[in-house]
Amino acid sequence: MSRSVTINQTCGTNGVLLKTLARPAPLEALPNIFEYQDYRKFLREVIGARRKNRGGYSIADFAKALGFSSHAGLAMVLNGQRELRSPYVEACIRSLKLSLRQQLYFEAMIRADRLSAAKRRALLQEIDSHSATWEPPATQDGIRLIDFFLVQQILSLCRGYVSIDKIISQFRYGVEKKTIQGALDWMIDKKYAERSPQGYRINKSILMVQDEKPNASGKQFHKDCMTLAHSALDTDALENREFQTYLVTVDSRKIPEMKKWIKKLVLEAIAEFETELDGDTVVQMHFNLFEASNRMGAGQRDQLMESEASL
């Protein structure tokens, strides 16, 4: 449906007709998502903007793009009679071509419907500002879930042994060394991580990749973890969509069961330390995971590989 522009030009004495390649028209201008605190109103005005830009565009067209069997389902969402849920949320993000920051804001607006007005304003303000001064909520005792999970995620991204100072450097909020040490000690006690003079890394008997062949005890340990993971998945009180937040940076080279292990790991931390996740924590964890992943880019991976080779 997008228009293209073809330019004809005459060049040289022979009058050769040149045609430039068709250039796609620029993306349509949609309403600014950060001006909304109601995702339904945003979607309604997106449909209105597309109707104006394209002509004849309707709610049925948008519903089809999102995978609804009929426009009635989307109409119920827009009228507040039902929530927009996965996989329609993901389809909506793709259809609207939302950036990462816009995507987080959009998902938070959906979750915010279940929060008070004050909590919703605070949540949306936090996402909009992306404040670097944010601090995760404290727990009564034990470790904070967000600290533990970021330690686990950084170790997974680094692949080799990592010093505790290197782990701390990946955090975008202030964190004490003893806090990270507590999370690492808990992981080692549970045999989820291992320690050496070079630092810490995820236990190889758990972090299995396709080309690894662990010994018999490692295989059994991994099998036991998978059994526990299946049990946790069956009784999980947290929504699967929430856990998509935690899994965004999981390395695709790892076997699919790795995702279930991570979920089990987080559930166990929640159960042991009675840590509750509120909307602010979930969103900020999302920010931190992407930031940790981005920081651990190609350059830093190469440096880590070189340091491992020199050991």
- Domain span including residue 199: 145-310
172 and 206 share a domain?
yes
In contact, 200 and 155? CB cutoff 8 Å? yes
> Cα(157)–Cα(142) distance, rounded to whole angstroms?
25
pLDDT tens digits for range 101-139: 677 778 777 776 565 666 656 655 655 554 344 455 555
Query: Which pLDDT does position 195 carry in this prediction?
Result: 92
Query: Which pLDDT does position 136 carry in this prediction?
Result: 53
Q: Which of 129, 155, 188 marks a domain boundary?
A: 129
Query: Which pLDDT does position 219 carry in this prediction?
Result: 53
Which residue stretches of the chain are H helix? 39-54, 59-66, 71-78, 88-96, 100-112, 117-129, 145-158, 164-169, 177-189, 216-234, 240-246, 257-273, 279-295, 298-310
Give the total number of structural domains in the chain.
Answer: 2
pTM of the predicted model over 0.75: no
Average pLDDT, the chain: 63
- Three-state DSSP class for residue 175: coil
Lookup result for tokens 């009929």: 70
195 and 46 share a domain?
no
Q: Which of 100, 129, 158 marks a domain boundary?
A: 129
The most confident of 34-38, 260-264, 297-301, by mean pLDDT:
34-38
158 and 281 share a domain?
yes
Average pLDDT over residues 194-202: 90
104 and 190 share a domain?
no
CB atoms within 10 A of CB 52: 10
Facing residues of 162 across strands?
200
Q: Token digits for 190?
A: 């549970």
220 and 268 share a domain?
yes
CATH number at residue 105: 1.10.260
Query: Which pLDDT does position 199 carry in this prediction?
Result: 93
In contact, 37 and 112? CB cutoff 8 Å? yes
Residue 118, Cα to own-chain centre: how many angstroms? 25
pLDDT confidence band for 262 (50 / 70 / 90): low
Helix (H) or strand (E) holding 194: strand 193-196
180 and 271 share a domain?
yes
The residue that leads in pLDDT, 289 or 120, is 120
Q: How many degrees, rounded to 5, is the angle at CA 258 between CA 253 and CA 263?
A: 140
